[in-house]
Chains A and B, each alone.
Chain A
Amino acid sequence: MNYFLKRILEIIPVLLIITFIVFTLVFIAGDPVALLLPEDATTEDIAALQAALGLDDPFYVQYGRYVMNMLQGDFGTSFRYGEDAMLLVFERLPATLELAIASILVAIMIAIPLGIWSATKKNSSIDLVATGAAVLGKAMPNFWLGIMLILIFSVTYSIFPVSGRGSFAHLILPAITLGTGIAAEMTRLIRSSMLETLGQDYIRTAKSKGLRTGIVVYKHAFRNTLVPVVTIIALQTSTLIGGTLITETVFAWPGIGQLLIQAVNNRDMAIVQACVMVIAFFVIVMNLIADFLYQLLDPRIRYK
């Protein structure tokens, strides 16, 4: 329990540093006053608005105010939409989560069987094909894969819609695009983790009992591989979220990624900040969950 508490407390400085990085970037980006006022505004008008918004305060005062506001749940107002930036992000969150979860499911469905299969048949042609596919998956840029899938399945054969969100059919191509990208790395990690497990003494014991290969592999070996696999999946969160940003753009998926890229182009820094904070928080929490699950799944740790 002590350990969990310690890990949770460690998040605080990390989050603080992130706010600092983000705030510094926003500060460098310059104040939005020029964008808020009409083009013919006088220097006095600008100074007045700056003073009103507190933008003429020194850096550290502004940063302090920024953190205090954030603690009260105020992440600023989007000057483009005139709404609470965090609310805008939350509106888009379900779409991104939907894509992320669907993609991770696709990745798991590909990577777990493929990783196990290629590990149990090491150096066979199946193994070669699987590892080859994994390397290829890593080498292909995700957005290109997405475009190629659109080209084949939407433009040429009209099986799935080109873009947008709505029906289940809309979800398939983006989920495959992002899922296969993640599956590539995941397959490699599961394969090596499985290979390590298969060399353990208890696998030999299981075989000496006359158990079928299937039971040896899927019960005895896989259950032990599960611990690193869960960690691997959780640690892919950062890659996954990074991937959604670009996959959303390719498929015009109305999630955080699209919102963020528009906001970056419009210099709508309130939304940018809110997006970064939400994503970073999400990644941190997932890493924490991975850590906790690791403890939970491994009885060797549980008994200590």
Chain B
Amino acid sequence: MEHALLTVNRLKTYFYTEAGVVPAVDDVSFSIQKGEIVAIVGESGSGKSVTSLSVMGLIEEPGKIVGGEILFAGKDLVGMSMKKMRELRGNQLAMIFQEPLTSLNPVFSIGNQLAESIRLHQKKNKREARKIGIEMLKKVGIARPDKVYDQHPHALSGGMRQRVMIAMALSCNPQLLIADEPTTALDVTIQAQILRLMKDLIEESGTSILFITHDLGVVAEMADQVIVMYGGQVVEQADVYTLFKEPKHPYTKGLIDSTPKIDEWKEELVSIPGTVPGPFEFPEGCKFADRCPFVMDKCKAERPTVTKVGKGHEVRCWLHGEKVVDLNERASFT
């Protein structure tokens, strides 16, 4: 069997704050194949962004990766030297962020920031970098790229800036692109354009994407594989069709039920009861126990283990611990 491009194995990233230790990522495992788009879904505080920053090696004090491994093209990124990590970053491993408005340095021109990684990783001179940079801007659909190249970020709109970010991230043909809520800050129409653009560019180059989002609509549109995170843990993962058709974890089901769909008429939108607890307020056993409508005594006492419920379909829930329970037969969220 061919090796996956990225394998995250039992990753643990903790934050050592003054108030106590926050297990932001707690025993997370998943893998991404070449050319595959994998989405991590979850509410804020689920650990999805920390997971992506861990892969990039951008976890800062007081955070620390305390366990597990991150295998990228066969090499473990955890404990890799700063120098080697920098050679990967921006080159084979690229990232775009949520806030296009603040993610570009306001005092340098677009070109300056775009050329930076091209010159660094592809060892090009200034003129060649400019050529490649303008080419990239054109690729991401920016009109008059040679003019934009010399402009400062504040002359561009949010959508344009996110295009620039994408151009920057793809300029060195990365093998893996991590996109942390790339469209959340944008208008709905711009969102669709940016997603379309990413998909097109990826198909061309064969780059894999780790897509971080809280929006299931985006997941359905983009992803091949889906990972659902809650409280720093993976609660369910499956391919996108299975996940939407047969969600096993009550949380996944809740997320799906609370997303409006155009083709389905519903009396009212259901929502998951309660809110995500604060970092120190998760229950002892299953982290979802106090919001779960199917909660059992065991859930409150013991942390659930991962169960395989189908081909490539895993769930961390006691309902599926010993025997598989069909959620659709039981009481639904109301």
Contact = CB atoms under 8 A, between A and B. Distances in A.
Are A and B direct contacts in the complex by CB distance below 8 Å? yes
Contact of B91 (A200, A210, A220, A298): A210
B89 interface: yes
B89 A208 contact: yes
Interface in B64-97: 85-91, 94-95, 97
Interface string A114-135: 0000000010000000000000
Contact of B88 (A204, A206, A210, A212): A210
A12 to B, nearest CB: 34
B125 interface: no
A202 B104 contact: yes
A201 B99 contact: yes
| B56, B61, B99, B154 pick with most chain A CB within 10 angstroms | B154
Contact of B154 (A206, A208, A299): A299
Interface in A192-241: 200-202, 204-212, 220, 223-224
Given A209-B116, A211-B120, A299 B106 contact: yes
A303 interface: yes
B300 interface: no
A210 B121 contact: yes
Contacts of A202: 102-106
A300 interface: yes
Nearest to A223: B107
Contacts of A211: 86, 90, 116-117, 120
Interface residues on A, range: 20 to 34
A208 B86 contact: no
B296 interface: no
A300 B120 contact: no
Nearest to B86: A210
A300 B56 CA distance: 29
Contacts of B102: 200-202
B255 interface: no
A231 to B, nearest CB: 15
A208 B95 contact: yes
A298 B154 CA distance: 11
B148 interface: no
Interface string A32-65: 0000000000000000000000000000000000
B117 to A, nearest CB: 4
B106 A210 contact: no
A223 B87 CA distance: 24
A208 B94 contact: yes
Contacts of A223: 105, 107-108
Contacts of B117: 209-211
Given A210-B87, A299-B107, A204 B120 contact: no
Given A210-B117, A210-B121, A300-B106, A205 B165 contact: yes
B164 to A, nearest CB: 11
Contacts of B103: 201-202, 204-205
Contacts of B269: none
Contacts of A207: 58, 89
B106 A205 contact: no
Nearest to A304: B154
Interface in B127-164: 152, 154-155
A208 B105 contact: no
A206 B89 CA distance: 10
Contacts of A220: 105, 108
A205 B104 contact: yes
A300 B121 contact: no
B32 interface: no
Contacts of B165: 205
B186 to A, nearest CB: 15
A303 B152 contact: yes
Contacts of A300: 106, 154
A122 B58 CA distance: 17
Contacts of A205: 97, 103-105, 113, 165, 168
Contacts of B61: 122
| A209, A211, A224 pick with most chain B CB within 10 angstroms | A209
Nearest to B95: A208
B84 to A, nearest CB: 10
Contacts of B85: 210
Nearest to A301: B154
B124 to A, nearest CB: 14
Contacts of B154: 299-300, 303
Nearest to A213: B82
Interface in B2-50: none
Given A209-B120, A298-B107, A204 B97 contact: yes
A201 B162 CA distance: 13
A27 B116 CA distance: 65
Nearest to B109: A299
A125 to B, nearest CB: 15
A209 B89 contact: yes
Contacts of B91: 210
Contacts of A208: 56, 58, 89-90, 94-95, 97
Contacts of B116: 206, 209, 211
Instruction: Give the top 6 A-B pairs by smallest Cβ distance, nearest first.
Output: A209-B90, A210-B89, A210-B90, A201-B102, A202-B105, A209-B117
Interface of A: 122, 200-202, 204-212, 220, 223-224, 297-300, 303
14 contacts: A200-B102, A201-B99, A202-B102, A205-B103, A205-B168, A208-B90, A208-B95, A209-B90, A209-B168, A210-B87, A210-B120, A220-B108, A223-B108, A298-B107
Given A210-B86, A210-B87, 15 more contacts: A200-B102, A202-B104, A205-B97, A205-B103, A206-B116, A208-B89, A208-B90, A209-B117, A210-B89, A210-B90, A211-B86, A220-B108, A223-B107, A298-B107, A299-B107
